[in-house]
Structure 1
Amino acid sequence: MNREILCATGNVVFGVLALALTAATLTGCGGQVNGTPAAGEVDVRQLPVGNYPIEPLDLRVEYLHSTNDGYRLAMARLADAVVTGVDIDPKFAHNSLAKAFLNTGSATNVLAAAVQPALRDNGMKFGYSASASTDTLLPIDTSEYVTNNYEPFGGHHTSPDATSFNVTVLQFPDSQRARAAAEQSEAADFAVAPDQNVRVALDKQQDAKAHWRPGIPSLAATLAYGDYVVNVYVELPKPDLDGLRQLTEQIFAAQLPLLDRTPPLSERQIFHLDYDPDAMLLRTLHPATYLSLDAVTEITHAARGYLHYVEDQATMKRLMDDSGVDRVSTTKKGALLFRARDTGSATTLWSGITKLDKGSVESPAGVPDVACVENPNPKPHSWDFDNAWNDSGRYICTLHYDRYVARVASGQLIDAQQKAAAQYALLANSQWM
């Protein structure tokens, strides 16, 4: 089949056989340069990747979907529909808790144990809980940690001057059981201290059930919304019922539209959720020879879902918004991968992230666009996820390729360098997807 190509320097049209390939390079409208063609990119086969794989995971192993994986995907999907602190106000930049749960026992690690029968009897399917604060939460004091109580901040103590909140969203089989669960759980929570609790009405969410203890600077509210139950807990520095009510209404106003865009899932829909939207996990460095989905450490999130796991939400949200990040994936002891709007946006995101990392160490040889640093205060992931991509975090390398930005980490520099080289090679080898 012939195709006509118009020469840019004149009006002469040359007929070219599409399948005819030569080693010659045309210059202008007729000049020819002899030579051997060379690749325009780094030869990734020569990069110092150690024993890390550089091919997409689906070329190494066959993924077999399961019901449990479906639920893990459902919980991650719900995380993408739960408000972050900065959705409410940029001042809520610090997070303290992000937890996905599949059973009522896990749910009552956040909610009071008294509500468990209401959740169990009405068939709670899964849920997600996230918290935010205007200040960094204080460490957990195990001597004061009391089980069976409402723990909206995962056992942490709030700063005396901080305003903080928690949002927990649960899905039930239908709206009738969601309403019953909301009413029964509110009644059970109120009954923990019936002589001290006082019911509170919310003008903007009149169907919500809320209560507080006069003199205590916190308020809890529960609302059935279709098949969902939304629980909101707010805490101020000082007792202020009007302030507590106003913040609670503000949080509901931001949360409910997100659920409107996230229809509840049937059992069939849960099982058929896509395990790797836009082939993000396949592009993310994966040291293991099998895929083990997890709602936190091995999953793909939308931007909002990922922000629940970021210590400084305001800074990261700005970088992601400016770069048009729409997908973020992470793998166990592998990598964190962002997908930006385009190549230029990825370069901007990479530059913004690397500016936040202080100091520098040697980057892997031959890998372009990579920066490595030594973390002066290495620590596990914020919630001690032992298998998170940065579970050590002493050395962190950040790189970009095309519209992707990746971060890898290790307790040893040479291992971090090898991970970075392997991640770069994997992205190059994944361009066909």
Structure 2
Amino acid sequence: MRIRSLTCATLIACVFAAGACGGDTTEQADVQRVDVTKLDSGSYPTAPIDVEQTRTDQSGAAREAIRIGAATPLMSDIDNRYIYQNPGYRTRVITPKTPPSLKAVDRSEFDTVAPGLVAGWFTQGQRRKEFSVGSEVLVYVLRFSDASHASAAVKELIERVPGDSISIPGYPEARTRHNAHTEFGINYLSTGLAHGEMALLVQINDPISRPFAPGPPADLTKRSFDKLIDMLRQYTPTPIDKVSALPLDMDGMLSRTVPLDDNNKSVDGSDPSGVYPAQALLHSEQDPNSARSAYTDAGVDYAAAVGALVLRAKDSAATTRLLAAISSPVATEYDKADSPANLPEAKCFKPKEGPGKSPMDKPVCYFAFDRYVAQVSSKNVQDLQQKTAAQYKLLAYGR
């Protein structure tokens, strides 16, 4: 399992190993005595920015999407067989300008087919690390301007999908398309349910089951709706006229995180930068159950994600365990890399050379400061060292 590059664009957090804990508590004390004047941060900014100056017409919607994500269950919460998530999905945040690309409905036509989208969230789970040897479930939680738009969206989005209609136990109003004979050889069940102003879409893809009988996927869809509706009780929709003004930062965390550079911006124009509650962040973990254990142990409440990921633990002592949980799995799969000059406390790694190396594999550094653990990645080790130094300076600024 490889650690993928972490930026706001990918929002792939960390891969955790069960039982990864411990560490030298003296290192935590030493890291606070770093002389920041001796750190080479290159051209990276080292002073907190005014995040409000970066606001766009989609920033409020992205923040509302994160609020929805914090009330959306993981697939492993719905069915404990779906314990893996695919890091290839680049962002979970859905906004009117970056709507989902669904079966039979492309992004470019989404607003025409399903107008009134306010914000939404995407999550995914699969039974095996490799999709081709197990089924996966895709879940979209979409908020529309009102219940009538949500109902119309479900109707249009599902009826465009080829297949037969089947019944979902307990949800006679759900719209479905079941297809066991696709041209791609992947069986699927696509289902939509309007729940107030929310449109809940669940798609089960199964490349291996023969035959693909409707009973088991219909049951999984029912359980998905049950859990989604239950957890969404935690979500209080922001009035539509106030969405655009939602605050972008939390306790200055985003302003003290390295900004996204042009080389790492998403090609689709999405900008999921923000401060994520732990539950929302878990949706981007390849191994969310192990990540949840590490987050719970360290008391992680929020994480800022832009050009780096900065996790906030309950106290400085907890960061020792969190740092070990994040970095230990990487140490077994990557080669050790040089830490930034005058910042030896940073744990840095680079991908092993060889035929198994992926273009997505990039060098990465981890360090702890006060209540925070930072994960920084970049295109090469030299740039990574400067970027990591800049991230340290941002956390240490004014202290």
What TM-score does the superposition give when structure 1 sets the normalisation length? 0.71
Deviations 1:34-61 (A, max 9, x none): xxxxxx7333222233333322123xx8
* Cα separation, partners in 2 of 1:275 and 1:235, compared to 1, 3 Å: same
Following TM superposition, by how much is the alpha carbon of 1:121 offset from its aligned partner in structure 2, in angstroms?
A: 5.6
> Equivalences for 1:18-417 in 2 at 5 Å?
41-58=33-50, 63=53, 65-96=55-86, 97=89, 98-103=91-96, 106-107=99-100, 109-113=101-105, 120=113, 122-137=115-130, 158-159=131-132, 161-189=133-161, 192-193=162-163, 197=164, 199-213=165-179, 217-236=187-206, 237-238=208-209, 239-286=212-259, 296-331=271-306, 334-358=307-331, 359-367=335-343, 369-376=345-352, 379=358, 393-417=361-385
Give the equivalent residue in structure 2 for 1:152: none
Deviations 1:245-288 (A, max 9, x none): 22111211222223222223333221121111222111212376
Give the equivalent residue in structure 2 for 1:13: none
Following TM superposition, by how much is the alpha carbon of 1:91 offset from its aligned partner in structure 2, in angstroms?
A: 3.5
Query: Separation in 2 of the partners of 1:367 and 1:417?
Result: 9
Query: Separation in 1 of the partners of 2:111 and 2:95?
Result: 15
Contact 1:55 1:430 in 2 (8 A): no
Query: Separation in 1 of the partners of 2:97 and 2:245?
Result: 24
Query: Separation in 1 of the partners of 2:252 and 2:305?
Result: 12
Query: Separation in 2 of the partners of 1:214 and 1:366?
Result: 60
Q: What is the Cα-based RMSD across aligned positions, in Å?
A: 3.2
Contact 1:179 1:229 in 2 (8 A): yes
Query: Separation in 1 of the partners of 2:98 and 2:367?
Result: 40
Deviations 1:86-112 (A, max 9, x none): 3234432332334544348843x2242
Query: Separation in 2 of the partners of 1:302 and 1:282?
Result: 16
Deviations 1:159-210 (A, max 9, x none): 1x31210111221111122223323433343xx44xxx1x322223343223
Question: Secondary structure in 2 aligned to 1:373?
Answer: strand
* Cα separation, partners in 2 of 1:213 and 1:413, compared to 1, 3 Å: closer
Question: Secondary structure in 2 aligned to 1:374?
Answer: strand
Query: Separation in 1 of the partners of 2:98 and 2:311?
Result: 33
AA aligned opposite 1:173: S
Query: Separation in 2 of the partners of 1:264 and 1:319?
Result: 30
Contact 2:339 2:345 in 1 (8 A): no
Instruction: Note the residue ranges of structure 2 that are not aligned, 5 or more in a row.
Output: 1-31
Contact 2:105 2:157 in 1 (8 A): no
Contact 1:378 1:394 in 2 (8 A): no
Contact 2:71 2:235 in 1 (8 A): yes
* Cα separation, partners in 2 of 1:336 and 1:206, compared to 1, 3 Å: same
Name the % identity.
Answer: 26
* Cα separation, partners in 2 of 1:378 and 1:408, compared to 1, 3 Å: farther
Query: Separation in 2 of the partners of 1:68 and 1:62?
Result: 13
Contact 1:94 1:311 in 2 (8 A): yes
Deviations 1:60-100 (A, max 9, x none): x8626443322232233333333333323443233233454
* Cα separation, partners in 2 of 1:52 and 1:229, compared to 1, 3 Å: same
* Cα separation, partners in 2 of 1:284 and 1:117, compared to 1, 3 Å: closer
Following TM superposition, by how much is the alpha carbon of 1:380 offset from its aligned partner in structure 2, in angstroms?
A: 5.3
AA aligned opposite 1:85: M
* Cα separation, partners in 2 of 1:89 and 1:296, compared to 1, 3 Å: farther
Contact 2:366 2:375 in 1 (8 A): yes
* Cα separation, partners in 2 of 1:231 and 1:414, compared to 1, 3 Å: same
Question: Secondary structure in 2 aligned to 1:353?
Answer: helix
Query: Separation in 2 of the partners of 1:301 and 1:214?
Result: 38
AA aligned opposite 1:270: V
Question: Secondary structure in 1 aligned to 2:377?
Answer: strand
Query: Separation in 1 of the partners of 2:367 and 2:190?
Result: 43
Following TM superposition, by how much is the alpha carbon of 1:330 offset from its aligned partner in structure 2, in angstroms?
A: 1.8
Following TM superposition, by how much is the alpha carbon of 1:329 offset from its aligned partner in structure 2, in angstroms?
A: 1.6
AA aligned opposite 2:121: Y
Give the equivalent residue in structure 2 for 1:425: 393
Contact 2:63 2:274 in 1 (8 A): yes
What TM-score does the superposition give when structure 2 sets the normalisation length? 0.76
Following TM superposition, by how much is the alpha carbon of 1:368 offset from its aligned partner in structure 2, in angstroms?
A: 5.4
Query: Separation in 1 of the partners of 2:112 and 2:228?
Result: 21
Contact 1:119 1:181 in 2 (8 A): no
Query: Separation in 2 of the partners of 1:104 and 1:403?
Result: 35
* Cα separation, partners in 2 of 1:374 and 1:90, compared to 1, 3 Å: farther
**Stretches (4+) displaced over 6 A:** none
* Cα separation, partners in 2 of 1:339 and 1:174, compared to 1, 3 Å: same
Query: Separation in 2 of the partners of 1:234 and 1:379?
Result: 28
